[in-house]
Structures are given as structure tokens and as C-alpha cells.
Structure 1
């Protein structure tokens, strides 16, 4: 029997700060927008995924448009941070293009990031999202040309490979890896050193996001 002097009370769970809650909602928004696109997603979808109320999401972000812009900005920030970390990794024995490519593939673990970016590229006619997407895309190009030092052809090739990876993840081709030799060859070609990771973390067709 525990005496009153030694009995302990349960420690109350720490209440999340508004910044932490905002990050939680943005992470859910990246996952949901990535899977369903801008038009196919509602603030209620994101609220349910984040475990908060829909009015709370609206109070923090104001509108679905603003929520998408926040998800897009967070995705872009994560992308550029990963690229710059790879660029700064002088101790690695891998060549710079491989380091940057591996960093891009590593971001598959952030559910929906590649697809949120892809959806933004398709919203060029949107009066607010379109300009934001074009700026991000131009910033990526500038990074490859000025910070990495790629030629225009090298930068173009790298971006094309990135778009192919986005398509593969968005189509959830990982589902067909074991049953379709064409898909297996494609994935082995695109992910020569990261294939086990991709097979483990890439979204599946039966997953909601």
C-alpha cells in the first residue's frame, strides 16, 4: 500500500502552444492537399487529420487558400533546407548531384510534400497560388544555377528527374513494383540507392493520404 507521503499524482499532459498546433495543422494540410489536391480538399478534411476542430483551422488560417499557401510555403522551405544541407555536406564522399538527389528522395518521408508542390505547379491560373508557385519554381532554378553551379542543361535535367519522381509517387506506382516488371525497372532506375526506403515509406493506393 502506498503511503500518502509517497503517493504521486499523474502529470497532466502539456498543452500544445499555438505555434505547435499550427505546425501540426500544416503537416496535416501537406498530407491531405498532397493526396487530394487543392479542389478536392476542405478545411474540415485537414481539421480531422490534425485532430482539431474546423473552426479552429479557420480561425488560424482564415481560408482554404491561406491554408494551402501555408502548406506550400512549408513544403518549399523543407525542400530548400534539404538542398542546402546537401550542398554544405562537404564531408560526404558522394558527388554533389547525388547528395542533392538523395536529399530530394529523403523528403518522401514527409507525407504529401512532393505532391503538394506538384499540385501548386498545376494551379498557375489561380490568382494567388499561381504567382506563389511560380516564385518557388524560379527560386529552385536559381538555386541550381547560382548556388550549386549547374549549367542550364544540368539544372533542366535535374528538375525533369524531380518531376518524374513526383509523378511516380503521386501515381503510387510502388503498389505495382512486385507485379509489373516495367514498374520495377523504372523504380530501380530512378532510385538506385534509395529503393528500399521508397518501398517502405511511399504512399500506397489504399492509403487515404
Structure 2
């Protein structure tokens, strides 16, 4: 994922079409919303994309509409990756591995978390619910798993989200309960990959 500086430099260096500029703004917004959630501003997005704030609003209408579009892209990325993994010989293992790789992208992970938090907004909530429901449906359809096993798959993914979001592993030794939880998750992940 390009840094904010790289986004700004590429925006200045090249004359872009309207579609290219739109993608540039979406990329900048993904990073800005991952950092600040729905509280981030269109001014911050504009600065990250090295354009004017009124241009952001002209293209997307409002901060909410921009957030929804960026969040929809992120959720779509998750479903696309899980759908591809579900086609592999061992879909359950492949989906788990694919999700672990996805959440290594801190911007994606944090954007997903901010979207869950902002789900009081009807459209954001619709996207979040679809993402969770589709992950569950894909797991059941591709593995033949019982509903409880599929629920555990989705719940484990959410636990991984939270642990990565709070940077739990980097804070080992600060809290015995958290350390035990991390050890439990690491052991479960290794068993699933074996």
C-alpha cells in the first residue's frame, strides 16, 4: 500500500484523467479513513491526495458517500479473496490462510474495523452485514461445514481483527490475560495450518 507521501508525489508528477484522479482520491481516502475512521475529514483526504477539498466533495458528494465507497471497496476485496480461496482443494484452510494474508494490510484491517463501528449508518451497516454474512455463506457452501463451525470461522476472523488492530503481539508482557489469549490464538492458527 503506497504511503501518503507516495500518493502526493504521484499526484503531482502526472497529469491524470478524471477516472485516475478518482482512484487516487479513493486510495488516499482508504489510508485516511483507516487512520481516523469516520471522524476523518475530506480536508485530510484532499491533503493526502494533493488536491483541493472542494474537488473531493464535487466528486463524491459528501464525506459519508466517500467513506461508504471506500468501505464498499474494502469489503468487496475481502469477499473477492475469500471467493477465490473457496475454489481451492481445501477451501476452509485456503480461506483461513487468505484472510490472514488480507489482514496483514493494516489499512484494510483498520478500515474494516472502522466500518463495523460506523455501522449505525444504514449504508455502512448494510455493507458490513453483507461482508460478514457472505464470509459465513462462502465457508458453509465451499466446505460443507455445519453452521456452528462456520460461525467459529467468522468469529475467529473477528478475534484476529481485534488482536491485530490493538497491536496485541507488540505488547506481550503487559497483561497476563492478553498474553494467554495470544498464545491460544497462535496455537489454534498453527493447528489449522498443519
Aligned residues, how many?
A: 178
Provide the residue aligned with 2:113 in structure 1.
118
Q: Quick one: which of 128, 143, 148 aligns to 2:138? A: 143
Higher helix share: 2
Q: Say if 1:126 and 1:14 are closer, same or farther in 2 by CA, change over 3 A.
A: closer
Structure 2: distance between partners of 1:121 and 1:71 = 13
Name the Cα RMSD after superposition: 2.8
Q: Which runs of 5+ in 2 are unaligned?
A: 1-12
Q: Say if 1:149 and 1:181 are closer, same or farther in 2 by CA, change over 3 A.
A: same
The alpha-carbon deviation at position 82 of structure 1 amounts to 1.1
Provide the residue aligned with 1:103 in structure 2.
98
TM-score normalised by length of structure 2:
0.75
Q: Say if 1:177 and 1:194 are closer, same or farther in 2 by CA, change over 3 A.
A: farther
TM-score normalised by length of structure 1:
0.71
The alpha-carbon deviation at position 148 of structure 1 amounts to 4.1
> Larger relative contact order (C-alpha < 8 A, sep ≥ 6)?
1
Q: Which runs of 5+ in 1 are unaligned?
A: 1-12, 196-209
Q: Say if 1:179 and 1:125 are closer, same or farther in 2 by CA, change over 3 A.
A: closer
Provide the residue aligned with 1:58 in structure 2.
57
Measured against aligned partners, the alpha-carbon deviations of 1:30-52 in whole angstroms (never above 9, x if no partner) come to 222223221x2111122222333
